[in-house]
A and B are shown apart, each in its own frame.
Chain A
Amino acid sequence: MEIFYQYLETISENFFDPKKRVFLGYLFSAFLISFMWLTFVKKEKIKQAVYKIFDKKIFMSKSAKADYILFLLNIIILMFLSPLLISQLAIAHFVFEYLHSQTFLTPLGIDINYMWMIPIFFTFCYFVLDDFTKYVTHALMHKVPLLWEIHKTHHSARTLTPLTIFRTHPIEGVIFVVRSALTQGIVIATFYYVYGGNITFVTILGANLFSFWFHLFGSNLRHSHIRINYWSWLEKIFISPAQHQIHHSIKKEHHNKNFGVAFAFWDYMFGSLYISKSDEDVKFGISETEHKYENNIIYLYLSPLIGIYKLIANYVSSKNLKVKKQKFIFNKQTR
């Protein structure tokens, strides 16, 4: 019974906790932004705009329904897997202790007059570094064939809704949990060491200040059919909803573009940035032709495993080392 309550709590936490992306407040702000975008920028009528935002064909599509089921099932799987994973506290302790045995990085003596700046600086750095590790992980999910097999689940969505973030294979869920734990552990331990424990997060409603603003300003529209683009100069700094939708596009020229989450400059720096064009048509998915079972839950769980098995089998049978490296370790043509 306790597990059942825990399960319900985790589900509801996603909608009621401001630290979560699909917190109801952020969903509402996403609605307001898209409404204003459609009525003020696209000059659509109010009724038409509302119909477009809550388009039944999108929210009740087979693809969206699969997202909802995966959301509910993955929570159960993660409930059992998470306790087996290394905790961010264990990582933080390891890093914190290691820092005492090196001389490269030493604790800073902070002038008392500047103490107020530390929480803001720390909160900002944490947000930026967290975003960077998300960029790197995401890029690897596309570039490494084994990881791409897993990440395909997410990209198999034909329609995008805010809950498409949960269209994720549990193995990928585990990868993201580990990424998150590593980032939290390393960044927090390092700052804690350097600033002698004088650090706190600046938060709004318990959420990181910058995460709060990122979500409030429409992070949920990344996975939506409302194509909001920014000025091109701004799209070099922040990823617009349209840029992430391009990332989900089946067009070859859009492949391996816009891996960033909040910031676009990672893509700019590493050559994966794609500035959106207002007249560009974007269709979501992996390929033009729809797979018969692409929204079947069992298929979504098993196909990555089959794909990995095939890759490993091919790897073992392939004798050419150069081919092995190109095809299986790091493949530019993955997506």
Chain B
Amino acid sequence: MNNIKFKGTTLTKLSFVGAVTFSFMCSSITSVNAGHHGNVYGPYPITEKSYKGTKKNSVSYGGQMARQLLHNSLKKLASTGSPSDPTLAPEKKMLAYLNTKDKSKSLPIMDPKNSSKFPVKQKMIGELSGGANLSGKADKRIQTSWPGNMSGVDVIKFMIKKAGKTKGGVDTRNGMNYPQLISKYTMGAVLYHQACDNYLDEKMTASSKPNNKPYKKGAYYTGKEHSWDEAFGYWGAAAHTMKLSAAQSYDVAKKKDLKAADYNKDGVVDLQTEMTYAHAYYASSYDKKGKTNYLKTVTGAFIDGRKLITAADGNKLSEAELNKIQDYVQIICSNWEDVIAESVFKYAGSVYKDLSKIEKALASGSGMDKAMSKYLKHWGELKGFAMALQAGPDNKSDTFNRMNRMMGFGPLMPNLSQVVGIDSSGNYIKDQGSSIGYYKLHMLKIQNLMADKYALKAKINDATGGMAALLEEVGTKKSAEND
């Protein structure tokens, strides 16, 4: 309104030029998208020169999809814990999904299970890969975010052991929601860690897994092709993601949209290529709100990178090509990292809200069970994602230390107790924590820390976002004026 008067005359001339330019830009962008991303991840031709077999498609990431399904299944099983089961069956079953390589095709997929609304092609983990487990690929570094100085895989085993002996997997005395902790941490310690700290890191250097040699003896794919495919598999996006909206990808993960999932129209969802998993699912959950485009940015970079490797036609990648690959890696891993940081931000906001509800429940004497249930679920998600964030290649130790310190090893309970360590028998050690107000303040500071250190845009559950909007509404004085 206030610009119209003085810009009016130029606007009429400019608007014509602007409209033409804008139309031109839009058509250019559309054609760029069609050329780069408007397609599917694979199939790509065989370029490995030593291969003499009959295969036509060099894409292979069955092991990664098996791990996505092992992770999904583990999460389901983590809520089956029972303190009264002397056989430790729940723990044993979970450990099977952590450690087993399902060569015999005997490990059923727990999620997604076949249904009439969402029929799936594979029923057993081994149908995707008989040589993949989770434990072999988990982060081996010592985890300072969890008590006990354990490696990543030991942390998961510890959580599984606890979950197996806890009713429903939720320890209400210490505040541990194991299905959330196990799931979110595994997403980081295995999936994100393997992609960004292994396949897209060491294996994208000139000397490691070169493109002019097979990935392993007799393989139909080159070293670089397979390393890239493996990383894509860990991302968890359906191969035809670029053809779907973020909301469709989200609904595919939620098993609500068979039509969007079934790309080859064979009536079933191929869990290898047509399903959305883990990190890609979280990216879609943020993107569908409209402020971000994580899913297509990362998936598009994967497709562009794979095309570049394929175009090398089985020859060694040049320095320029390797540099270009590094550009794609940068896009993939920084956005992936941001997706996890968005989750930390989101759940810190959820925990903040839950604590307010707990304060109200304490004051009124009612509604505590419901408030606690949500609080422990959200805290588990927060902690799990915070631990996952630390599984990446870029170890921001100062940021992580601050985040871990503010979050603690366990949630602050209404009686102000908090887990501070583990004794030699694996039992939690608790101490008196701060006040609820202080712990809420820590959640605010965690949100600020994430916003400062990462390029967050979605910022779901921003605890101070409403305050900023109110201040924006009252505006600032730009003129020197008396009253």
Q: Which A residues are within 8 Å of any B CB, using their own CB?
A: 5, 8-10, 12-17, 19, 21, 70-71, 74-75, 77-79, 82, 87-89, 92-93, 96-97, 99-103, 106-107, 109, 126, 134, 138, 154, 164-170, 172-174, 176-177, 180-181, 184-185, 188-189, 192, 196-197, 199-201, 203, 206, 208, 261
B 3-36 binary contact with A (CB < 8 Å = 1; else 0): 1011100000000000000000000000000000
Q: Please choose the segment from B98-106, B172-180, B475-483 that sits at the chain A interface, where 4 or more of its residues have CB less than 8 A away.
A: B475-483
Q: Is the CB of B476 within 8 A of A181?
A: yes
* B320 contacts the other chain (CB 8 A): no
Contacts A12-B6, A100-B444; A176 near B478 (Cβ below 8 A): no
User: Interface SS of chain B: helix, strand, loop or mixed?
Assistant: helix
What residues of A have a CB within 8 angstroms of the CB of B84 in the complex? none
Q: Is the CB of B2 within 8 A of A165?
A: no
Q: Which B residues are within 8 Å of any A CB, using their own CB?
A: 1-3, 5-7, 356, 359-360, 363-364, 435, 437-438, 440-441, 444-445, 448, 463-464, 466-468, 470-471, 473-483
In the assembled complex, how far is the CB of residue B184 from the closest CB belonging to chain A, in whole angstroms?
Answer: 26
In the assembled complex, how far is the CB of residue A241 from the closest CB belonging to chain B, in whole angstroms?
Answer: 13
The total number of A-B Cβ pairs within 8 Å is: 137
What residues of B have a CB within 8 angstroms of the CB of A9 in the complex? 2-3
What residues of B have a CB within 8 angstroms of the CB of A70 in the complex? 480
Q: Is the CB of B467 within 8 A of A78?
A: no
Q: Can you show 14 pairs from A to B with CB atoms below 8 A apart?
A: A9-B2, A12-B2, A15-B2, A78-B479, A97-B445, A102-B437, A154-B482, A166-B481, A168-B482, A176-B481, A177-B476, A184-B471, A197-B467, A206-B473
Distance, CA A203 to CA B469, complexed state (A): 14
- Choose one: B6, B437, B482; the contact of A8 (CB below 8 Å): B6
What residues of B have a CB within 8 angstroms of the CB of A99 in the complex? 437
In the assembled complex, how far is the CB of residue B39 from the closest CB belonging to chain A, in whole angstroms?
Answer: 40
Distance, CA A9 to CA B3, complexed state (A): 6
Distance, CA A197 to CA B477, complexed state (A): 25
Closest residue of chain B to A154, judged by CB?
B482
Contacts A96-B464, A102-B437, A107-B356; A201 near B480 (Cβ below 8 A): no
User: Which are the 10 A-B pairs with shortest beta-carbon distances?
Assistant: A173-B480, A100-B441, A74-B480, A12-B2, A16-B2, A109-B360, A261-B483, A168-B480, A100-B437, A165-B481
Given contacts A12-B6, A192-B466, 7 further A-B contacts (CB under 8 A): A12-B2, A74-B479, A100-B437, A166-B481, A176-B477, A180-B476, A203-B473
In the assembled complex, how far is the CB of residue B445 from the closest CB belonging to chain A, in whole angstroms?
Answer: 8
Distance, CA A22 to CA B88, complexed state (A): 76
What residues of B have a CB within 8 angstroms of the CB of A134 in the complex? 483
Distance, CA A174 to CA B5, complexed state (A): 29
Distance, CA A100 to CA B473, complexed state (A): 24
Distance, CA A88 to CA B480, complexed state (A): 17
Distance, CA A261 to CA B482, complexed state (A): 10
Q: Is the CB of B441 within 8 A of A173?
A: no
In the assembled complex, how far is the CB of residue B402 from the closest CB belonging to chain A, in whole angstroms?
Answer: 15
Most buried by A among B467, B473, B481: B481
Closest residue of chain B to A151, judged by CB?
B482
Contacts A165-B482, A172-B480; A103 near B435 (Cβ below 8 A): yes
Q: Is the CB of A201 within 8 A of B473?
A: yes
What residues of A have a CB within 8 angstroms of the CB of B2 in the complex? 9, 12-13, 15-17
Q: Is the CB of A166 within 8 A of B479?
A: yes
Q: Is the CB of A16 within 8 A of B483?
A: no
Distance, CA A335 to CA B440, complexed state (A): 49
